[in-house]
Chain A
């Protein structure tokens, strides 16, 4: 599982590099474009993801202490928080689309080059991250069913551990995405 996490880190790491280079080349444009992103929704989603990471970690504790019902409830809370994250993302992107800021739009094409690059990276990176959130939700759902069916229990919890690791990875990537897209202007 850790090897897979390393490949994921380098996938996003590559995009972070692109961001770093263009940020240094077009700092004024990046500054202006970064002010467009909604810091409130970004902060809210950070809090949501951090709490969801804790509930996953707690559900592993529950499985290890043979508390099946509690583990399932904690994972359901995680799924709910993941859904909240996606709904927030929907409104956030929806607002950008209303402002005609989406990849390939005429408004975006007429912006200075640096701002165009910022929004390109913004949609690419938050989009790729949101895709990981969706995959994580599917993994957690499968995990819930496998706890229910008794495949995952105190003696065999590799799967909940690994989907937990994946979920923390999603959180970890967001921890770095959040300042890059929402905080640093």
Chain B
């Protein structure tokens, strides 16, 4: 791993990523105050997904990993979403 050429992220870019993450946190906390009802779950999960993707892409430097690793990570999330969909199909038709 460390024999390969590595992308070195600047301190500045880490700071920018943190600012984005903190802003998104502020947005999701503020949205929770509005009591959007059923929509609040969707909004909270959407913001969490954006934050999660940001952490994976920049902090976990997926952006600079090999295509193979990136496809593997994407596949894991696709499988997980499928599991959720199938599970709720099962529950809603019982």
The one of B17, B40, B73 that contacts A184, using a Cβ cutoff of 8 Å: B40
Is B48 within 8 A of A47, CB to CB?
no
**CA of A183 to CA of B25 in the docked complex: distance in angstroms?**
11
Is A184 within 8 A of B25, CB to CB?
no
Q: How many positions in chain A have a CB within 8 Å of any CB in the partner chain?
A: 42
Instruction: Indicate whether A43 sits within 8 Å of B8 (C-beta atoms), given known contacts A54-B15, A54-B17, A175-B48.
Output: no
**CA of A155 to CA of B4 in the docked complex: distance in angstroms?**
10
Chain B interface, >50% SS class: helix
Is A17 within 8 A of B83, CB to CB?
yes
In this complex, the interface size class of chain B, counting residues with CB under 8 Å from chain A, is: 35 or more
B4-22 CB contacts (< 8 Å) to partner A: 6, 8-11, 14-15, 17-18, 21-22
Is B28 within 8 A of A183, CB to CB?
yes
> Which of chain B's residues has its CB closest to A173's CB?
B52
CB 8 Å contact bits of A8-37 with B (1 = contact, 0 = none) = 011001000100110010000000000000
Q: Is A93 an interface residue (CB 8 A)?
A: no
